[in-house]
Amino acid sequence: MGAVVVSKGPRRLRFFADGWGNSEHVTDLSLPTEPPQPVAIEWVHDWSGDGLATSVGVFESPLAESLPPRSRLAVVTRVAPGTPTGKTVVLMAAWNEHDSKARFDIARRLAQRGIASLVIENPYYGVRRPHDGQPIRTVADFASMGSAAIAEGRALLATIHHNGETAGISGYSMGGNVAALISATMPFAVASAPLAAAHSPAPVYLDGALRGGIAWEALGGEATAAPVLRSLMLQASVRAVPAADHTRHAVIVAAVSDGYVPRESTEILHRHWPGSEVRWVTGGHATLLWFRKRVLSDAIVDAFDRIESAG
């Protein structure tokens, strides 16, 4: 059903409808190698209730200059237990996620189990959406979004680590892929739980249901554009860097009948991180997200337990 919605949906929702875009942003999707730096978050609003402490903060994206004006200020919500435990996970956004309800549901579950969450709005999405309609109009938009999301997630992990806490990274679907890419580049130990994650965006957009959402005619035709897109997206791959020591403690969750994330891509991620655990769950892509939140939150909790047990 998901594949039909993507391929047969309104043309206004197709992505890359305005073509390739700025070539300066299209040519390089390689992973960052420099150590991330902490960011100064300005906390602008906070409240408490049900034993949880919630705060909303903002900071300038490390890659602000490559983003549209409305996307340059990152917005993050912290959901924490009433009594801090020194553990915080960054939850990355899924593809086309303009409402973070699913992530907030997971964040509340985690807070009840002693783990704080930083739920960050993705560049181009939600309150950072640059315009109405499909926000990813060009391949350059996609590249800028992905690079900025990785930079922002890394900066938040550096901030958590700088504050003396144990840092974790997770996310679902695109968020899981971004979480895996972030974890792969971190110079310190990170509790990692990629959920419904691929090893690279390439198989998700070119071998799964999302292929039907691409405006191929705007890219010069599918036969011409697909190999170029694959080469570009494969630059952003966990296999592009050696497995960091902490990735052997990662907990990966995947759906058995996922029409968006090819099984082989998840297996590649698992094999590239020797010692990591992969948990296959019955159901599809949406089923795992909306009806298996306990399974997803368990994976995050277990990833923290594994990283802390390793010392």
Tens of pLDDT, residues 247-273: 999 999 999 999 999 999 999 999 999
Q: Is the pLDDT of residue 237 over 60?
A: yes
Write down the pTM of the prediction. 0.94
Q: Is the pLDDT of residue 111 over 90?
A: yes
Taking the C-alpha atoms of residue 36 and residue 80, their distance in angstroms, rounded to an integer, is 24
Mean of pLDDT over the chain: 94
Taking the C-alpha atoms of residue 153 and residue 59, their distance in angstroms, rounded to an integer, is 12
Q: Is the pLDDT of residue 6 over 60?
A: no
Q: Which CATH superfamily is domain 2-309 in?
A: Alpha/Beta hydrolase fold, catalytic domain (3.40.50.1820)
Which helix (H) or strand (E) segment is 280 a member of? strand 277-281
pLDDT tens per residue across span 54-68 = 999 999 999 999 999
Contact between residue 197 and residue 208 where contact means Cβ atoms under 8 Å apart: no
In this prediction, residue 12 carries a pLDDT of: 64
Per-residue tokens: 200: 């690279």
pLDDT tens per residue across span 69-87 = 999 999 999 999 989 899 9
In this prediction, residue 22 carries a pLDDT of: 87
Taking the C-alpha atoms of residue 187 and residue 131, their distance in angstroms, rounded to an integer, is 36
CA 147 centroid distance within chain = 11
In this prediction, residue 9 carries a pLDDT of: 53
Phi-psi bin for 283: left (phi > 0), alpha (psi -120 to 50), beta?
left
Contact between residue 146 and residue 29 where contact means Cβ atoms under 8 Å apart: yes
Work out the burial of residue 221: count CB atoms within 10 Å of its CB; fewer than 13 is exposed, 13-18 middle, 19 or more buried. exposed
Phi-psi bin for 173: left (phi > 0), alpha (psi -120 to 50), beta?
left
Residues of the chain with pLDDT > 70, as a percent, come to 96
Taking the C-alpha atoms of residue 268 and residue 177, their distance in angstroms, rounded to an integer, is 12
Q: Is the pLDDT of residue 16 over 80?
A: yes
* Helix residue spans in the chain (DSSP H): 2-8, 23-26, 101-111, 139-162, 174-184, 201-207, 222-233, 263-272, 285-291, 293-309
pLDDT tens per residue across span 146-179 = 999 999 999 999 999 999 999 999 999 999 999 9
Per-residue tokens: 36: 């991330």
pLDDT tens per residue across span 136-151 = 999 999 999 999 999 9
